[in-house]
A and B are shown apart, each in its own frame.
Chain A
Amino acid sequence: MSRLLEVNQLQVHIKTQHGIVQAVRGISFYLDEQETLAIVGESGSGKSISVKSIMGLLPKNGKIVGGSILLEGKDLSKYSERQMQTIRGSDISMIFQDPMTSLNPTMTIGKQIVEVLKEHRKDMTKTQMKDRALELISLVGISNPETRFDQYPHQLSGGMRQRVVIAVALACDPKILIADEPTTALDVTIQAQILDLMKDLQKKIKTSIIIITHNLGVVANIADRVAVMYGGQLVESADVRELFYQTEHPYTKGLLASIPKASHKGGELTAIHGTPPDLMDPPKGCPFAARCTKTMEVCRQYPPEDMLCGESHHARCWLLDERAKAFRE
């Protein structure tokens, strides 16, 4: 497998009325061909902002202030808006949480797919575009493509709309599909259908997927690798099995523990106390120190380094340092 995307020490700042929010504080990760990477984290952890900077879709008050985003060697963080327009939709596509708002309500389904082709595939004729759109509609599991082609978004259910959004995103065979909470707005039975569809499509068209979610069940279902974000930093990343079964970071452990287990029904849930840090004024040490059950003096003073604790298992925690061994046990 070869490396498709490499994000190095990415830093993003967002200017607000009250000051500068350090939304992403030096994160590094990569994506290989045909793999699925899940990015997990709470609201405000910087996961959406990170992928939006890959897409060049940061809000006007947001800015990449450091690091690089390499797509097959080309640094996207240096691209102009015009250059990004050639990348978006053709090399990298994105699907959003709410299928109701990402489709244009005044345009037929077919036209919305054709629109993308018009932009990126100038070599295609009108008939070819229509054929391709019909092909995509059936590819995402919608029956009667001919009828659906002329329908409007309001005539479809939520699950169907999300399928259309996926069809639009896949129109130009992107190398990377970024899905930002693609199933959060959907019911569980529909969620299962969409996850199956995404896995199935990945096999068929060999795209790589970055999925952002807060649902660890969804992660277990679809991901090959997982990156956990907290307070604008990447606190742990590993192969999916390793992350669930050999968890290293206390935050990841806390997340996994806060899910109710069948074994002790009705008992007290292991909650993570407190609230996430304010990224306007991030703590100088470990961002999780204030909520961690194993905080040491050093955690509040110095940010932990990225440590390797397995073949491709990284975690940022002082407990992993040699000198903390005694404390760890």
Chain B
Amino acid sequence: MKSAENKPLLEVKNLKKYFQVGKNQILKAVDDVSLDIYKGETLGLVGESGCGKSTFGRTVIQLYEPTDGRIVYDGREINGSLPSAERHGFTRKMQMIFQDPYACLNPRMKVIDIVAEGIDAHGILSGEERTKKVLELLETVGLSEEHANRFPHEFSGGQRQRVGIARALAVNPEFVICDEPISALDVSIQAQVINLLKELQEKRGLTYLFIAHDLSMVKHISDRIGVMYLGAMVELADSESLFEAPLHPYTQALLSAIPIPDPDVEKSRSRIMLEGSLPNPVNLKEGCRFASRCPYAEQLCKEKTPEMKEVRPGHFAACHKAM
């Protein structure tokens, strides 16, 4: 799906998003993260809570103002002061699906108006055409006409997530950021939503940034996967090589921690157990962020922050010891 000759659809360069959390206390939620996403591909972004993966997604779609760095979409820089007409055009191309289908839909609006929010904001369609479009969208995501005049509380979690997807699709986006779209859903419903996202991607040529912490689903849907730890990208590779031969010690530990639904395999395999938990992310010092929990850390790791380097073709890792 991705090809090297292709120009990337989205280029993120040295993106930083810092939050001031107290006097002289800075939380570097996203610190110097760069990545390219090509047209038609799915890039998975994984990491534990607090690693900055959601902040990254929200900064890319401009819900947060980046502290520093460049975001280039389709050859045009989109952060900073865009003329409002251009910004308007951009917001049509990029849409987002949120984690919690209970919180992201306005409980006092009917489904038809929720789905049409984008259409109305951009003044694309009105009257009967608008209704027709919404009904079409509902059908696309596997809901029916009769659902249009209901309120969100009348739906199950999986159905609400479908409404959220229909809303994102209403303005015909090219690029969709899916922020943990399935983690609030039951196992049997998760597969339905993942299948729907895949199908839509094939039909409409969508590009996804898929943010999640469930690694098995991310592996299933992604062409490439980025792993974040404490605000920094630590590894980026296509999903096969990331799972087959992870380079960064954190990725190795993360993969070995996923319980596998197979009792014989699960009870016989050995785990890389990480000691302790995430260090305090406020006012981080120089050095590798993972050094405090890394079984291989040496003096160099505590002094110098490792940079992302291409260890194998297309496989990047930020670790002094990866080779």
Across the interface, do B273 and A192 meet the contact criterion of CB distance under 8 Å?
Answer: yes
Across the interface, do A220 and B188 meet the contact criterion of CB distance under 8 Å?
Answer: no
Q: Check A254 for interface membership: any CB of B closer than 8 A.
A: yes
Known interface pairs A221-B267, A255-B188, A260-B219. Does A275 touch B156 (Cβ–Cβ under 8 Å)? yes
* Chain A interface category by residue count: 35 or more
* Residues on B with beta carbons closer than 8 Å to the beta carbon of A268: 195, 198
Across the interface, do B188 and A42 meet the contact criterion of CB distance under 8 Å?
Answer: yes
Q: Please report which residues of chain A, range 234-277, place their CB below 8 angstroms from some CB of chain B when the two chains form the complex.
A: 240-241, 244, 254-256, 258-260, 262, 265-266, 268-273, 275
CB distance from B181 to the nearest CB of A (A): 14
Across the interface, do B258 and A220 meet the contact criterion of CB distance under 8 Å?
Answer: no
Q: Check B302 for interface membership: any CB of A closer than 8 A.
A: no
Across the interface, do B187 and A159 meet the contact criterion of CB distance under 8 Å?
Answer: no
How many angstroms between the C-alpha atoms of A219 and B262 in the bound complex?
9
Dominant SS among interface residues on chain B: helix
* Residues on A with beta carbons closer than 8 Å to the beta carbon of B156: 275
* Residues on B with beta carbons closer than 8 Å to the beta carbon of A191: 257, 259
Residue of A nearest to B216 (CB): A260
How many angstroms between the C-alpha atoms of A244 and B243 in the bound complex?
24
CB distance from A279 to the nearest CB of B (A): 13
Q: Check B148 for interface membership: any CB of A closer than 8 A.
A: no
Interface segment out of the listed A99-107, A128-136, A182-190: A182-190
Q: Check B5 for interface membership: any CB of A closer than 8 A.
A: no
How many angstroms between the C-alpha atoms of A179 and B257 in the bound complex?
20
**Could you list 5 A-B pairs, sorted by A, with CB under 8 Å?**
A259-B187, A266-B198, A269-B194, A269-B195, A275-B159
Residue of A nearest to B193 (CB): A271
A42-78 interface bits toward B, Cβ cutoff 8 Å, 1 = contact, 0 = none: 1100000000000000000000000000000000000
Question: How many CB-defined contacts (below 8 Å) exist between A and B?
Answer: 114
CB distance from A323 to the nearest CB of B (A): 28
B188-216 interface bits toward A, Cβ cutoff 8 Å, 1 = contact, 0 = none: 11111011001000000000000001011
CB distance from A177 to the nearest CB of B (A): 19
Q: A-B pairs with the 6 shortest C-beta distances? A: A217-B259, A260-B220, A271-B191, A187-B48, A216-B261, A258-B191
Across the interface, do A271 and B188 meet the contact criterion of CB distance under 8 Å?
Answer: yes
Contact of A260 among B213, B217, B262 (CB under 8 A): B217
Contact of B216 among A190, A214, A259 (CB under 8 A): A259
How many angstroms between the C-alpha atoms of A189 and B253 in the bound complex?
7
CB distance from B84 to the nearest CB of A (A): 40
Q: Please report which residues of chain B, range 155-172, place their CB below 8 angstroms from some CB of chain A when the two chains form the complex.
A: 156-159
Across the interface, do A220 and B191 meet the contact criterion of CB distance under 8 Å?
Answer: no
Residue of A nearest to B260 (CB): A217
Q: Check B121 for interface membership: any CB of A closer than 8 A.
A: no
* Residues on B with beta carbons closer than 8 Å to the beta carbon of A220: 259-263, 265-267
Residue of B nearest to A160 (CB): B277
* Residues on A with beta carbons closer than 8 Å to the beta carbon of B48: 187-190
CB distance from B42 to the nearest CB of A (A): 9
| Total number of B residues with any Cβ neighbor in A under 8 Å | 45
Across the interface, do A192 and B257 meet the contact criterion of CB distance under 8 Å?
Answer: yes
Q: Please report which residues of chain A, range 162-211, place their CB below 8 angstroms from some CB of chain B when the two chains form the complex.
A: 187-193, 195-196
Across the interface, do A266 and B220 meet the contact criterion of CB distance under 8 Å?
Answer: yes
How many angstroms between the C-alpha atoms of A244 and B261 in the bound complex?
8
Across the interface, do B258 and A272 meet the contact criterion of CB distance under 8 Å?
Answer: no
CB distance from A274 to the nearest CB of B (A): 9
How many angstroms between the C-alpha atoms of A193 and B276 in the bound complex?
9
Q: Check A215 for interface membership: any CB of B closer than 8 A.
A: yes
* Residues on B with beta carbons closer than 8 Å to the beta carbon of A241: 263-264
* Residues on A with beta carbons closer than 8 Å to the beta carbon of B215: 188
* Residues on A with beta carbons closer than 8 Å to the beta carbon of B256: 192
Across the interface, do A219 and B261 meet the contact criterion of CB distance under 8 Å?
Answer: yes
Contact of A272 among B188, B194, B271 (CB under 8 A): B188
Across the interface, do B277 and A192 meet the contact criterion of CB distance under 8 Å?
Answer: no
Across the interface, do B259 and A221 meet the contact criterion of CB distance under 8 Å?
Answer: yes
CB distance from A160 to the nearest CB of B (A): 7
CB distance from A257 to the nearest CB of B (A): 8
* Residues on B with beta carbons closer than 8 Å to the beta carbon of A275: 156, 158-159, 189
Across the interface, do B261 and A159 meet the contact criterion of CB distance under 8 Å?
Answer: no
How many angstroms between the C-alpha atoms of A191 and B186 in the bound complex?
19
B233-273 interface bits toward A, Cβ cutoff 8 Å, 1 = contact, 0 = none: 00000011001000000000110111111111111000101
